[in-house]
Structures are given as structure tokens and as C-alpha cells.
Structure 1
Amino acid sequence: MKSAFASVRKVPIVAIFCSFGLIFGRSGSGKTTLLQLLAGLSSPSSGSIEIQRYGSDGKPTQSPELLRPERVGIVFQFPERYFLAQTVLEEVTFGWPRQRGSIELKQQLTFRLQAAINSVGLNGIPLDKDPKTLSGGYKRRLALAIQLMQVPDLLLLDEPLAGLDWKARADVVKLLKHLKKEVTLLVVSHDLKELAPLVDQSWRMDMGGFLKEEPLPV
């Protein structure tokens, strides 16, 4: 199923009939603030945020429902700055419940771990490796894996290509092309040329946080 989100203002639902949406605009216009609102890291001063699910025919499958923050993943710009653990495995599983769980829970978490690692192409990296020693591209892969562990309905990315060399940028673009088949992605970026082939729908954000659906500039 594919997802959509609503504006935090009292306006009609803004539908995303796609798996890769991109928001662009001038710095300071409010793009990152919007991602924080969608992720539940900030609260709107008025209105609400809802999600609309669609089937493969583009038609709604149910009534809109409030967007639950726990169903939203977010990868910040330079996410590697927030790594805390000593190994890749500890970093990916940092948010796991520490208390004893049932065998079923452990099996579910193990399946999620393997699926996330495979999805981002980290299966060739030793799980006992220090995350800080990974290349820039692999650090972004690890940050994505951490969010995919939660199996989100919506994955938000803030400037996913920032600070990477040309090879790492190409690798991340290739990875996002794969991920858009698995989860709805909403990306904020200034790197329009590199991401353009992936984009299904795009919006320009003007100063003051006003969104307008608009094709990417050529």
C-alpha cells in the first residue's frame, strides 16, 4: 500500500500517490520543520496530521487516520553525528527492549534486523565493526537500517546526500531507488538533479512554510 499525509494547516489532505516525494525550496523556508512535525518531534500549533492509504489502483482503501509518530522514521542530515554505540549491531538494536521478551518477540526482532541489514546492503559489513570507522556512504546505510527496524509507513529523509563524495552519493541514490519499492519516502533536498529520476511527486516550499505542488526545475 502507498501512503499520503495531510498538511498541518486546516486545508484538504495533500495526497502522495507515489513512493518517492521530494520537497525543495530555499533554506529557512520550513522544510526540516515540516519533517519534524510529521515525525512527531514537534507539535502543530493547530490542525492535525493524517495519513491516507491507497491501493495499487490509486483509490483510498479506508478513511484517513491520524498519523502515528511511531509509524514514521526520520533520518536527519548528517545522521552519523548521533551514533552512540560501539558496534554496528549495537547501533541498529539500540532501541530494542532491554527486558526479557518472549521467544516470538526475539524472533520478530531478529527477522527485522536481517531484513533491515539486507535492504540497505550492510550484509557484507561485520556487525562488530565500529560505526564511526565506516565510510560516509555506509554510515548513511546504517542510519537507514536503524529506521527500517521499526517498519515505518513513512520514511523521512533530510538532505540524504549532504557531505558525501560522488561515489557515496551515487550509492545512496541507488539504495533509495531500491527502498522506494518497500516504503513511502519523503525527502527534503537541494540535490535535485541527482534525485530527479526517483521522484514521483514534488513540492516547492516557499518562505513561511507554504507548500505548492510543482515539477522539479530543469
Structure 2
Amino acid sequence: MLDGGSKMASFVSTFDRPRLWGMLEPPISSAPISNSRLNLSRNQALSINCDHSCLEVRDVSYKPPGTQLSLLNSVSFSLPEKSFGLIFGRSGSGKTTLLQLLAGLSQPTSGSIYIQKYGTDGNPCQSPEPLTPERVGIVFQFPERYFVADNVLDEVTFGWPRQRGDLQLKEHLSLRLQRAIKWVGLSGISLDKDPHSLSGGYKRRLALAIQLVQIPDLLILDEPLAGLDWKARADVVQLLKHLKKELTVLVVSHDLRELASLVDRSWRMEMGGFLKEESILA
């Protein structure tokens, strides 16, 4: 049996299920490119100077099909890239519903969700881009309930289409896999290990690694500390502290005290699906 390192090394030559998260280069047009078109492209590229981007949610409402009850009402907020946002509030207020809309699992009845890039002057420098499901990673409460594979490697790579790719693509996938496992602190775990045999904290790490392989624009976590003992909770908080340096993170949680030191922006969801900005004390 291969150990974790050997199995990872053999991944490039044996794995044939790459998931195409926009990693393939776009098709190259065979049409000739004129000098005027080339100069125009260069001038456009030089004129765009974007400093940062934000997740923007504007006037989002949601009414389940066939019902008259709105679960969310005119929700609006923004979250800059590489920052940590926290949504809290009573159970049943609509927090998880909002996360499902952000992840593309449901569609808003009205309103918009997009990524907006801004220049150094604070003004938009490009047209807003839709937040597509491919750009979002989501980890639900008790994610281990959704594990389906017999070992860690197969769990992380489960769902990648069976498609034979070239060596360069496989190497790219392997590097992303290694980076995700390193980010969440799973490097010391055998990739042959049964995911269900891991401790609660390591199950959360594995669930995060599954989402981080694609390096999402937005990482969403629903109650990431739920059901963990104090040591695992502290470990997950430290992990989130590291991840916010690399990604935009949005968390729904009741555990305000333990997460307060990480929070850049916070909102309370009130009953009826109304969201308002509210600071929490670290």
C-alpha cells in the first residue's frame, strides 16, 4: 500500500478524472488578427487598473415556488475579497437559505448577486460579473454526512468527470490537490484512510479541502464549529484565520465569541429574512 506522499506522487500518472473548472485554455481562433485589433486590445488592457473586487448582493428576495411566504426580503450587503464575513441570527431566520442562493443551489426571486471589481479611486472599473456556482465553495453543517468514498483521495476527487486529459492538465490538478491538502493541514494523513474514521476536526478539514481544490472566489461555511470538541474548534478557528488571507470567506454561525477575532464585517439576520449590518465585539 502506498503512503500518502507516494500516492500523491502517483496521482499525475494514474488519475483520469479531471474536473474542468475553467482550467483549459479557451479555443484559439483561426481568424487573422489585424494590427488595429491588437493595438485596441493592448490599449484596453492598459486602461483597466482594478485594485480589488467585492461580492455584491443587491435587493435579493426569495419566495419558494408555489408559496406566498418570502424567506428573504431585500437582502443587500458587500464583502471585499480576502476578508471574513459573519452572518448570525436566530434559527429559521433565513441564513442558510441565503447561503444556498450564493452557492447557486437556488435562484433569487428578485435581486442580483455578482462580483464587482473596483479601481484605486473606489469606482467600478469593469462591468459586474455574475457569481456562478463554479466560483463558490460551500461546506454545510456536519459535512461528513455527505462523504461517499472509501478513502481520502477518492473523497477529495469524487465527482471529477472521467475524461482522459494530457499530462500538463493532470500535473495542474495534482498541484491544486496538494495545495488544498496543505492549506487545511491534512498533509500528515494517509490518503488511503477512510474519511469516516477521521476525528471531527479532521473531517471538517477534509470537507474544506474538497472545496479548495478549485480555489473558489467565495468560500461559504454553515456552522463550521458545530458538534466539535474544544480542541477541534480551536483548530478550525486557526485554519479559518489562515484561509482568510487567501480567500473571501463567509460564515453562518452562532459561535460569535470564538470567531469574533476573525470578522471583518458582520450582519444579523432577523426573522422574516431581513439582514442588517451589526458589529460584534472581539
TM range (shorter): over 0.9
Asked if 1:123 is matched to 2:187, the reply is yes
User: Please, which of 174, 195, 213 is the counterpart of residue 110 of structure 1?
Assistant: 174
Letter in 2 for 1:6: V
Asked if 1:144 is matched to 2:144, the reply is no
Quote the offset at 1:108 in angstroms.
1.2
Stretches (4+) displaced over 3 A? 9-13, 53-61
Quote the offset at 1:177 in angstroms.
0.1
Using the size of structure 1 for normalisation, the TM-score is 0.93
Q: Could you say what secondary structure the match of 2:111 adopts?
A: coil
Quote the offset at 1:80 in angstroms.
0.4
- Structure 1 pair 174–55 and aligned structure 2 pair: CA distance change class (3 A): farther
Quote the offset at 1:143 in angstroms.
0.2
Quote the offset at 1:49 in angstroms.
1.4
Corresponding residue of 2:57: 6
- Structure 1 pair 94–212 and aligned structure 2 pair: CA distance change class (3 A): same
Distance in 2 of aligned mates of 1:94 and 1:207 = 37
Quote the offset at 1:54 in angstroms.
4.6
Distance in 1 of aligned mates of 2:105 and 2:236 = 25
Deviations, residues 119-149 of structure 1 (Å, cap 9, x unaligned): 0000010000000000000000000000001
Matches for 1:66-215 after TM superposition, within 5 Å: 66-215=130-279
Quote the offset at 1:96 in angstroms.
1.9
- Structure 1 pair 55–131 and aligned structure 2 pair: CA distance change class (3 A): farther
Query: Could you list the runs of 5+ residues in structure 1 that have no partner in the other structure?
Result: none
- Structure 1 pair 215–137 and aligned structure 2 pair: CA distance change class (3 A): same
Distance in 1 of aligned mates of 2:53 and 2:278 = 20
Letter in 2 for 1:170: A
Distance in 2 of aligned mates of 1:60 and 1:148 = 28
Corresponding residue of 1:27: 91
Letter in 2 for 1:16: L
- Structure 1 pair 149–171 and aligned structure 2 pair: CA distance change class (3 A): same
Letter in 1 for 2:85: G
Distance in 2 of aligned mates of 1:58 and 1:148 = 29
* 8 Å Cα contact 1:137/1:164 also seen in 2: yes
Using the size of structure 2 for normalisation, the TM-score is 0.73
- Structure 1 pair 154–57 and aligned structure 2 pair: CA distance change class (3 A): farther
Q: Could you say what secondary structure the match of 2:203 adopts?
A: helix
Corresponding residue of 1:17: 80
Distance in 2 of aligned mates of 1:57 and 1:141 = 38
Letter in 2 for 1:4: L
Query: Could you list the runs of 5+ residues in structure 2 that have no partner in the other structure?
Result: 1-51, 62-72
Distance in 1 of aligned mates of 2:75 and 2:268 = 17
Q: Could you say what secondary structure the match of 1:49 adopts?
A: strand
* 8 Å Cα contact 1:154/1:183 also seen in 2: yes
Quote the offset at 1:3 in angstroms.
3.0
Identity of aligned residues (%): 73
- Count residues in correspondence: 218
